[in-house]
Amino acid sequence: MTGTPTGLSQAATSNRRPIETARNDFPILDQTVAGKPLVYLDNAATTQKPRRVIDSLRHYYEHDNANVHRGIHELSERATRQYESARDKVRDFINADVREEIIFVRGTTEAINLVAQSYLRPILAAGDEILITEMEHHSNIVPWQLVAEQTGARLRVAPITDSGELLLPTLAEMIGPRTRLLAVTQVSNALGSINPVADIVRLAHEQAVPVLVDGAQAVGHMPVDVRAIGCDFYAFSGHKMYGPTGIGVLYGRRDLLEKMPPWQGGGEMIRSVSFEKTEYNVLPHKFEAGTPHIAGAIGLGVAIDYIEDLGRSAIECHEQDLLAYATGALARVPGLRLVGTAPQKAAILSFLIDGLHPHDISTVLDREGVAVRAGHHCAMPLMARLGIPGTTRASLAFYNKPAEIDALVRGLLQVVAFFNRGRAGG
């Protein structure tokens, strides 16, 4: 599992659905933008949804909509069954030990905030340390800053190399007697770097420090096994893995979750309430106050079915092929420099072009039908570390085609020609 995260940990089996035709499952991709075929390369922001997921939302609202865990009637039982079945699918998908370890939340951000406030805040004292890395997304920085402010704890930041790799020996040295948690992303949303999270967990556990892994950019693109990683918490979002927005998952080790207080109060999370005392519900309901995003959870379950039908190893292989193709193709654009060139990379290509600002690049690409992201990618401290204001980022999914990479490169060549017109010697 460790060391070779892009390797074939499970050989793609031959009875899977072929990936090449899976693009047809995504109705949104079949459209034109500004008169050009849409080329959607902003998958790290959100992925598109296969028809099966879209249909499942519609089916739920048309046939089964009811509140869960409450009604003594057929619809409520159906809704509850499907909602809880989605939890089982998530458990299997990330290989958690028991279903009680799967908490439905709004997304990665909420999952991390839950851990910050419910797990960490009660045990933090002034002078304690929370360790993160320079490549974290704002959602894996700010919740820790908040809890640090509330408790007088200190946020420490492990450095990366210029190519976007974590320095493991330095990270190991920074884990000290005051470290109460290490929070690290599995895949950098801005650089694509894949971190050896199982190795990192081992280093932290040697010093009895628990680890939260931000899996937002990993879970839809490669096999993920939380027990093989060994992490204590794992957070991810449905919408970055072909599921609906507004639903995500916090995985937490059961013994930790049992000890944690609820972080939101309300219905669903209680066993009995009186004005004198409230007894909390058991896991996982203790952390799911209020009516949950039932349709979202069901849709997430269907997204998992969809991914498993294709096979995560097959998805990973295909995306690695696309990454290799795109890396070669972008080299043809004069003045282009990739930002993030770690040897282990997911299919995310951040780049700069000499003399051109990412926003100007993406405005021109948009008129060519090519959707990319421009800016700081919610990682302003990382951009500051790299000494750049932002990048243009093409992030791929298995449904992208080499022809779309070609369209990106054609667009970029036009960008360069367009903006360099009238320049001396150009």
Which residues are tagged catalytic?
378
Could you tell me how many residues of this chain bind other proteins (CB under 8 A)?
22
Residues 157-186 that bind other proteins (CB under 8 A): none
Contacts of 385 (CB under 8 A, 6+ apart): 134, 159, 160
The separation between the first and the last C-alpha atoms of the chain, rounded to the nearest angstrom, is: 50
* 414 scored as a contact of other proteins (CB under 8 A): yes
Residues 76-135 that bind other proteins (CB under 8 A): none
* 18 scored as a contact of other proteins (CB under 8 A): no
How far is 395 from 46, CA to CA, in rounded Å? 10
Q: Which two tokens stand for residue 122?
A: 């009660």
* 382 scored as a contact of other proteins (CB under 8 A): no
Nearer to other proteins, 49 or 376 (CB): 376
Classify strands 391-395 and 373-375 as parallel, antiparallel or unpaired: antiparallel
* 230 scored as a contact of other proteins (CB under 8 A): no
Provide, rounded to whole angstroms, the least separation between the CB of residue 357 and other proteins.
4
Nearer to other proteins, 223 or 375 (CB): 375
How far is 273 from 263, CA to CA, in rounded Å? 16
Residues 284-313 that bind other proteins (CB under 8 A): none
Residues 21-50 that bind other proteins (CB under 8 A): 34
Q: Which stretch binds other proteins (CB under 8 A): 179-187, 316-324, 343-351, 418-426?
A: 418-426
How far is 117 from 324, CA to CA, in rounded Å? 41
* 375 scored as a contact of other proteins (CB under 8 A): yes
> Residue 183's closest CA among 135, 247, 121?
135
Provide, rounded to whole angstroms, the least separation between the CB of residue 316 and other proteins.
32
Nearer to other proteins, 179 or 392 (CB): 392
Length of the chain: 426
CB burial class (10 A; 0-12, 13-18, 19+) of residue 200?
A: buried
Nearer to other proteins, 61 or 418 (CB): 418
* 425 scored as a contact of other proteins (CB under 8 A): no
3-state helix, strand, coil in the chain (%, to 5): 40, 20, 40
Provide, rounded to whole angstroms, the least separation between the CB of residue 16 and other proteins.
39
Nearer to other proteins, 277 or 421 (CB): 421
User: Any idea what DSSP says for residue 103?
Assistant: E
Distance, C-alpha 171 to centroid of its chain: 22
Nearer to other proteins, 42 or 316 (CB): 42
Q: Which two tokens stand for residue 146?
A: 């908040």
In the list 198, 374, 396, 405, the residue contacting other proteins (rule: CB under 8 A) is 374
Residues 332-371 that bind other proteins (CB under 8 A): 355, 357-360, 363-364, 367
Residue type for position 93: F
* 426 scored as a contact of other proteins (CB under 8 A): no
Provide, rounded to whole angstroms, the least separation between the CB of residue 370 and other proteins.
13
Angle between helices 74-94 and 294-310 (to 10 degrees): 40
Q: Which stretch binds other proteins (CB under 8 A): 87-95, 127-135, 254-262, 375-383?
A: 375-383
Provide, rounded to whole angstroms, the least separation between the CB of residue 334 and other proteins.
17
* 389 scored as a contact of other proteins (CB under 8 A): yes
* 156 scored as a contact of other proteins (CB under 8 A): no
How far is 184 from 209, CA to CA, in rounded Å? 13
How far is 136 from 143, CA to CA, in rounded Å? 12
* 390 scored as a contact of other proteins (CB under 8 A): yes
Nearer to other proteins, 343 or 422 (CB): 422
Task: Mark residue 122 as left, alpha or beta (left: phi above 0; alpha: psi -120 to 50; beta: remaining).
Answer: alpha
Task: Mark residue 223 as left, alpha or beta (left: phi above 0; alpha: psi -120 to 50; beta: remaining).
Answer: beta
Q: Which stretch binds other proteins (CB under 8 A): 242-250, 270-278, 341-349, 414-422?
A: 414-422
Q: Which two tokens stand for residue 257?
A: 């979750």
CB burial class (10 A; 0-12, 13-18, 19+) of residue 73?
A: exposed
Residues in touch with other proteins (CB under 8 A): 34, 355, 357-360, 363-364, 367, 374-376, 380, 383, 389-390, 414, 418-419, 421-423
